[in-house]
Structure 1
Amino acid sequence: MRVEALSLEQLRERSSEKWREYPADVLPLFVAETDFPLAPEITRALERAVAIGDTGYVASRTPLPEAYAAFASRRLGWTPDPARMRPTADVSMGIVEILRRVIAPGDRVIVTPPVYPPFYELIAEAGAVVERVPLRDTGAGWELDLDGIRLALDAGARAVLLCNPHNPTGTVHSTASLTALAELAVQFGAAVVSDEIHAPLAQPGTGFVPFLSVSDAAREVGYAVVSASKAFNLAGLKCALMVTASEATARLVRALPVEVEWRTGQFGMLAAVAAFSPASDPWLDGLLVALDENRRLLAALLAEHLPEARYRIPDAGYLAWIDLTALEWGDNPSRRILRDAKVALHFGPAFGAEGAGHVRLNFGTSPTILTEAIERIAALR
Structure 2
Amino acid sequence: MSAGDCSPNTPASSGAVRTDASALTEVDPSGIPFAQLDPALLRAQRTSIKWTRFPADVLPLFVAEMDFTLAPEIRDTLVARIEASDTGYLDSPGPLADAFAGFARDRWGWEVPGAYVHLATDVATGVVESLRVGRPAGGRVALATPTYPSFFEMFEEVPFEVVEIPLTIIDPDHAPQARLDLVAIERAFASPQGIDAFVLCNPHNPHGLVHSAADLTRLAQLAAQYDVFVISDEIHAPLTHAGVTFTPFAPIAAAAGALSVTTTSASKGWNLAGAKCSVIIAADEAANRLLLQLPPETPVRASILGLHAGVAAFAKGREWLDRAIAQIEANDALFAELVEAKLPGVRYTRPAAGYLAWLDFSAAGLGENPHERILTDAKVALNDGAAFGEGGAGHVRLNLACAPATIIEAVDRIAAILPGARPA
Shared topology, TM-score over 0.5? Answer: yes
| CA gap 1:221/1:372 in 2 versus in 1, 3 angstroms | same
Aligned counterpart in structure 2 of residue 280 of structure 1, from 291, 298, 317 = 317
Task: Name the residue aligned to 1:229.
Answer: 267
**Residue 75 in 1 paired to residue 112 in 2?**
no
Task: Name the residue aligned to 1:19.
Answer: 51
Provide the secondary structure at the position in 2 that maps to 1:320.
strand
Task: Name the residue aligned to 1:356.
Answer: 393
Aligned counterpart in structure 2 of residue 8 of structure 1, from 25, 28, 39 = 39
Provide the secondary structure at the position in 2 that maps to 1:56.
coil
CA shift, 1:177, in A, is: 0.4
Task: Name the residue aligned to 1:60.
Answer: 92
Amino acid across the alignment from 1:163: C
Q: How many residues align?
A: 380
Amino acid across the alignment from 1:115: T
What is the distance in 1 between the residues matched to 2:93 and 2:213?
Answer: 33
TM-superposition CA deviations, 1:7-59 (whole Å, max 9, x none) = 32441110001001111111100000000010111001100011111111125
Q: Which structure has the highest helix share of the two?
A: 1
| CA gap 1:96/1:218 in 2 versus in 1, 3 angstroms | farther
Q: Is the 8 A contact 1:2 1:289 kept in 2?
A: no
What is the distance in 2 between the residues matched to 1:154 and 1:40?
Answer: 50
CA shift, 1:356, in A, is: 1.1
What is the distance in 2 between the residues matched to 1:234 and 1:91?
Answer: 12
Task: Name the residue aligned to 1:153.
Answer: 189
| CA gap 1:22/1:363 in 2 versus in 1, 3 angstroms | same
Aligned counterpart in structure 2 of residue 188 of structure 1, from 199, 219, 226 = 226
Task: Name the residue aligned to 1:95.
Answer: 127
| CA gap 1:113/1:42 in 2 versus in 1, 3 angstroms | same
CA shift, 1:73, in A, is: 1.2
Task: Name the residue aligned to 1:124.
Answer: 156
**Residue 250 in 1 paired to residue 282 in 2?**
no
What is the distance in 1 between the residues matched to 2:229 and 2:253?
Answer: 14
Amino acid across the alignment from 2:159: G
Amino acid across the alignment from 2:364: L
| CA gap 1:127/1:72 in 2 versus in 1, 3 angstroms | same
Task: Name the residue aligned to 1:136.
Answer: 168
What is the distance in 2 between the residues matched to 1:130 and 1:299?
Answer: 34
CA shift, 1:311, in A, is: 0.5
Deviating above 4 A after TM superposition, structure 1's stretches of 4 or more consecutive aligned residues are: none
**Residue 342 in 1 paired to residue 379 in 2?**
yes
Amino acid across the alignment from 2:122: D
Amino acid across the alignment from 1:349: A
CA shift, 1:103, in A, is: 2.3
What is the distance in 2 between the residues matched to 1:60 and 1:165?
Answer: 27
Unaligned stretches of 5+ residues in structure 1: none
What is the distance in 1 between the residues matched to 2:289 and 2:101?
Answer: 19
| CA gap 1:103/1:362 in 2 versus in 1, 3 angstroms | same
Amino acid across the alignment from 2:293: A
Provide the secondary structure at the position in 2 that maps to 1:15.
coil
TM-score, normalising length from structure 1? 0.97
| CA gap 1:268/1:74 in 2 versus in 1, 3 angstroms | same
Aligned counterpart in structure 2 of residue 327 of structure 1, from 358, 364, 378 = 364
What is the distance in 2 between the residues matched to 1:368 and 1:234?
Answer: 23
Task: Identify which range, 3-12 or 64-73, moves more after superposition.
Answer: 3-12
Provide the secondary structure at the position in 1 that maps to 2:357.
strand
CA shift, 1:231, in A, is: 1.0
CA shift, 1:215, in A, is: 5.1
Provide the secondary structure at the position in 2 that maps to 1:291.
helix
Amino acid across the alignment from 2:414: I
Percent of paired sites with the same residue: 47
Task: Identify which range, 98-107 or 166-175, moves more after superposition.
Answer: 98-107
CA shift, 1:245, in A, is: 2.3
What is the distance in 1 between the residues matched to 2:295 and 2:331?
Answer: 42
Amino acid across the alignment from 1:87: L
| CA gap 1:104/1:270 in 2 versus in 1, 3 angstroms | closer
Unaligned stretches of 5+ residues in structure 2: 1-26, 419-424
CA shift, 1:252, in A, is: 0.6
| CA gap 1:223/1:59 in 2 versus in 1, 3 angstroms | closer
TM-score, normalising length from structure 2? 0.87
| CA gap 1:162/1:60 in 2 versus in 1, 3 angstroms | closer
CA shift, 1:255, in A, is: 1.2
Aligned counterpart in structure 2 of residue 238 of structure 1, from 273, 276, 279 = 276
What is the distance in 2 between the residues matched to 1:304 and 1:267?
Answer: 44
Task: Identify which range, 328-337 or 163-172, moves more after superposition.
Answer: 328-337
Amino acid across the alignment from 2:298: V
CA shift, 1:60, in A, is: 3.5
What is the distance in 1 between the residues matched to 2:48 and 2:390?
Answer: 29
| CA gap 1:211/1:339 in 2 versus in 1, 3 angstroms | same
CA shift, 1:363, in A, is: 0.8
Amino acid across the alignment from 1:90: D
